[in-house]
Amino acid sequence: MTDSAKTVRASRISIAQLMQPEHANNLGNVHGGWIMKLVDEAGALACMRHAQRRVVTVAIDSMVFRNPIKISDLVILTAEVTYAGRTSMEVEVQVQAENPITGERTHTNTAYLVYVALDDNGKPTSVPPLKAETEDDKLKMQAAQERQKRRLAGKK
């Protein structure tokens, strides 16, 4: 790793937003598309923080909603870069719903997205390498490398 390598921690961001009636369907559950939008924003911000460049979304591996998010829940998204290639980055976004009165939190989903950094002309540009600080970082980075290998194998 070079001195330009950045840590996973340096990219970590957290966003919280209170879910309102306009975010929900007639059952009172927040639309999955709204959560996907927030996930994409959180992921992009983490990647911009890592690359210090504009980024574009190129892939979303999958998004499985394990628990519903209701009107008046506080949605908390935590994102961090888990892989850095030459121009691309993978980010992990964890989504939790919190009842702001009781403080009870429920993990609703985890998503993995891939972004590419862009130069001032809108062309892909190199990103700094990623450096692990903790054992958890190392494990996440290894898992991300495996996901990236599968993505690339699927393109062939």
Q: Which residue has the higher pLDDT, 41 or 28?
A: 41
Note the pTM of the prediction, 2 decimals.
Answer: 0.93
Q: Tell me, what's the pLDDT at 155?
A: 75
* Span 26-38, average pLDDT: 94
Residue 156's pLDDT band (boundaries 50, 70, 90)? confident
Q: Tell me, what's the pLDDT at 154?
A: 83
Residue 1's pLDDT band (boundaries 50, 70, 90)? very low
Q: How far apart are CA 27 and CA 127, in angstroms?
A: 43
pLDDT tens track for 95-122: 999 999 999 999 999 999 999 999 999 9
Q: Tell me, what's the pLDDT at 137?
A: 96
Domain map (residue ranges) of the chain? 6-155
Q: How far apart are CA 64 and CA 29, in angstroms?
A: 15
Residues paired with residue 83 on neighbouring β-strands, in sequence order: 90
Q: How far apart are CA 156 and CA 147, in angstroms?
A: 15
If phi over 0 gives left and psi between -120 and 50 gives alpha, with beta otherwise, what is residue 72? left
Cα-Cα-Cα-Cα dihedral of 121, 124, 129, 132, to 10°?
110
- Three-state SS letters, the chain: CCCCCEEHHHHCEEEEEECCHHHECCCCEECHHHHHHHHHHHHHHHHHHHHCCEEEEEEECCCCCCCCCECCCEEEEEEEEEEECCCEEEEEEEEEEECCCCCCEEEEEEEEEEEEEECCCCCECCCCCEECCCHHHHHHHHHHHHHHHHHHHHHC
pLDDT tens track for 45-57: 999 999 999 999 9
CATH of domain 6-155: 3.10.129.10
Q: How far apart are CA 73 and CA 147, in angstroms?
A: 31
Q: How far apart are CA 35 and CA 66, in angstroms?
A: 13
